[in-house]
Chains A and B, each alone.
Chain A
Amino acid sequence: MRVGIEVNGKQTTEDVEDRTLLVHHLRDVLGLTATNVGCDTTSCGACTVLLDGEAVKSCTVLAAQADGHAVTTLEGLTDPDGGDLHPMQRAFREQHGLQCGFCTPGMIMASVSLLRDNPKPSRDEVRHALEGNLCRCTGYHNIVNAVMDASGQEVQA
């Protein structure tokens, strides 16, 4: 079917199989490879993107379901012409919020979604909000620090 999705502010229109998952559409058709396929079973959150501003796991959404909607991937957080990092990206870098980096795009998108709902979360609220994102390096402490930093709050040593 013909699927029209506004991706990172730009309208895209592509013919894809009805069964195409959004994450495959983003990666394989549109060439946006920041979004990772991790567990592929709605658990790990590596494929998290924003759908109409809300975090979703794009391995469990059909591209067809996103037809007529707006999707933001990690690439969409920064200016395509090489602008500054998004505050969440900057905070992840400064706080060492990543080790291998595989979970990072999903972590950042879930964190951006959290701050839209709750601009000043407590550490506990950050941990709960990221319960659908797994870091197999287990670097959670600095990830929480990064979200606290991005929200302009005190970071724990």
Chain B
Amino acid sequence: MIPAQVSYVRATSVEQTLELLAEHGDDAKVLAGGHSLLPLMKFRFAAPEVLVDIAPLDELRYVRESGEEIAIGALTRYRDLHANEILRAHAPLLAEVAGAIGDPQVRNRGTIGGSLAHADPAADLPAAALASDAVFVVRGPEGEREIAAEDFFLGPFTTPLEPDELLVEIRVPKLTGVGWGFEKFNRRAIDWAIVGVTAVGSSIALINMGGSPIRAHAAEQALADGASPAEAGALAAEDTNPADEPHASADYRRHLARVLTTRALAKVAGEWPAGLH
């Protein structure tokens, strides 16, 4: 499969990228690792006229502590997130989730900013960012604005990012020592989750239980009221809208959400030993 004709432009700076995006508007797409965009272009589900490759922008590749937060450059790859000592110490959920996406080859290319901006409801990092109360720093012609993860995932592949804006940084609060859990159910190692659950402390975000990653509010409320992992997990499918597909019915997905949330919360509480499943 070969993408449609496209003009490839290599970015030299964030400012120049913003100028290119302003010039080409909807006709341009930002290329980071390319592991969401290029497959879409090969199927010709996407056919941008201009590709702005931001991979050369090394200034967007970092993980650093910033007071009570961690700041992550949008171009940081899954591989580097997984290995990063700061994340492992203060936001281990993100490090662990990044290390479970796709396969090593994919993790050598895929970037956190690319995954979040792509906003695939079946992707892992958007849910992990949502559970972690992340804030996304977006730069555009008017300057910088911040968007909370809660307000970012509007629907399948839909975010408030304007065509002339660029996601440049992800900020997450330090959650040092806070229990976390991540459960992903799929048929083959490299597949997207049929259903997945990310949990840190009392925050729970579900993967592939609707058109965007969603917080399991009923389960979170139950936890706050003193429920056990099993009691809270039983409420995980409340107010969700999972796809009903031949390989995974909506009922099956609701069942998975309950089981996986119970397991994730047991891990949060330190009750579920590693390697049991």
A interface with B by C-beta (< 8 Å) = 1, 17-19, 21, 24, 40-43, 45, 48, 51, 54-57, 59-62, 64-65, 67, 110, 113-114, 128-129, 131-133
Interface of A is mostly: mixed
Do B104 and A62 have beta carbons less than 8 Å apart?
no
Q: Does B118 contact A (CB under 8 A)?
A: no
Do A60 and B109 have beta carbons less than 8 Å apart?
yes
Do A61 and B34 have beta carbons less than 8 Å apart?
yes
Q: 7 closest pairs, A vs B, by CB?
A: A132-B103, A18-B8, A131-B189, A64-B8, A19-B3, A54-B108, A131-B103
Do A18 and B7 have beta carbons less than 8 Å apart?
yes
Q: How far is the CB of A62 from chain B (nearest CB, A)?
A: 7
Interface size class for chain B?
A: 20 to 34
Do A19 and B5 have beta carbons less than 8 Å apart?
yes
The 27 listed contacts between A and B (C-beta, < 8 Å) are: A1-B8, A18-B6, A18-B7, A19-B4, A19-B5, A19-B6, A21-B3, A21-B42, A40-B42, A43-B190, A48-B105, A54-B79, A54-B108, A56-B109, A57-B105, A57-B106, A59-B42, A60-B38, A62-B8, A62-B38, A64-B53, A110-B104, A114-B104, A131-B190, A132-B102, A132-B103, A132-B106
- With A24-B2, A131-B190 in contact, do A55 and B108 touch (Cβ < 8 Å)? yes
Do B2 and A45 have beta carbons less than 8 Å apart?
no
Q: How far is the CB of B95 from chain A (nearest CB, A)?
A: 16
Q: How far is the CB of A56 from chain B (nearest CB, A)?
A: 5
